[in-house]
Amino acid sequence: MPAIQVKTASAKYPVLVGSGILPTLYRRLPKRNHVFVLTSPEIWALWSKRFLASFPKDIQPSVLFLPAGEQHKRLIHVERLASELASAGADRSSLLVAFGGGIIGDMGGFLAAIYMRGIDYIQMPSTLLAQVDSSVGGKTGANLAVGKNLIGSFHHPLAVYADIDLLQTLSTRELRAGLFESIKAGVIRDARLFRFMEQNVAAILKREGKALEYVIAASIRMKANVVGIDERESGLRMILNFGHTIGHAIEAATHYRKLLHGEAIAWGMIAALHLGRTRGTISPAQADRVECAIFSYGPLPVFNTTTAKLLEATSHDKKNREGKRRFVLPNSIGNASVVEDVTDAELTAAIDWMLAKVRKS
Ligand SMILES: NC(=O)c1ccc[n+]([C@@H]2O[C@H](COP(=O)([O-])OP(=O)(O)OC[C@H]3O[C@@H](n4cnc5c(N)ncnc54)[C@H](O)[C@@H]3O)[C@@H](O)[C@H]2O)c1
Ligand SMILES: [Zn+2]
Residues 94-129: pLDDT tens digits? Answer: 999 999 999 999 999 999 999 999 999 999 999 999
Q: 177: Cβ–Cβ under 8 A, 6 or more apart, which residues?
A: 128, 129, 260, 261, 262, 263
Q: 26: Cβ–Cβ under 8 A, 6 or more apart, which residues?
A: 54, 55, 56, 59
Query: Among residues 155, 237, 289, 325, which one is catalytic?
Result: 237
Q: 84: Cβ–Cβ under 8 A, 6 or more apart, which residues?
A: 64
The per-residue pLDDT for 318 is: 67
- Per-residue model confidence as pLDDT tens digits over 144-181: 998 899 999 999 999 999 999 999 999 999 999 999 99
What's the fold here for domain 3-169?
Rossmann fold (3.40.50)
| Domain boundary assignment for the chain | 3-169, 172-360
Q: Quick one: which H or E segment has residue 18?
A: strand 12-18
Q: Which residue's CA lies nearest to atom 11 of ligand 1?
A: 102
8 A C-beta contact, residue 20 and residue 165: yes
Q: 284: Cβ–Cβ under 8 A, 6 or more apart, which residues?
A: 277
- Per-residue model confidence as pLDDT tens digits over 62-81: 999 999 999 999 999 999 99
Ligand 1 pocket, 137 CB below 6 A? yes
Pairing, β 35-39 against β 62-65 = parallel
The whole-angstrom separation of Cα 275 and Cα 268 is 11
Q: Confirm whether 244 is a catalytic residue.
A: yes
Q: Confirm whether 289 is a catalytic residue.
A: no
Q: Which residue's CA lies nearest to atom 21 of ligand 1?
A: 101
DSSP string, 85-154: HHHTT--TT-EEEEEESHHHHHHHHHHHHHGGG--EEEEEE-SHHIIIIITSS-EEEEEETTEEEEEEEE
The domain 172-360: what is its CATH number?
1.20.1090.10
Give the length of the chain: 361
Q: Quick one: which H or E segment has residue 290?
A: helix 284-296
Dihedral of the CA atoms 230, 236, 242, 247 (nearest 10)?
50
First-last CA distance in the chain: 42
Q: Confirm whether 316 is a catalytic residue.
A: no
Query: Among residues 49, 117, 257, 359, which one is catalytic?
Result: 117
Q: Confirm whether 208 is a catalytic residue.
A: no
Whole-model pTM: value is 0.96
Ligand 1 pocket, 134 CB below 6 A? yes
The whole-angstrom separation of Cα 275 and Cα 284 is 11
Ligand 1 pocket, 103 CB below 6 A? yes
The per-residue pLDDT for 234 is: 87
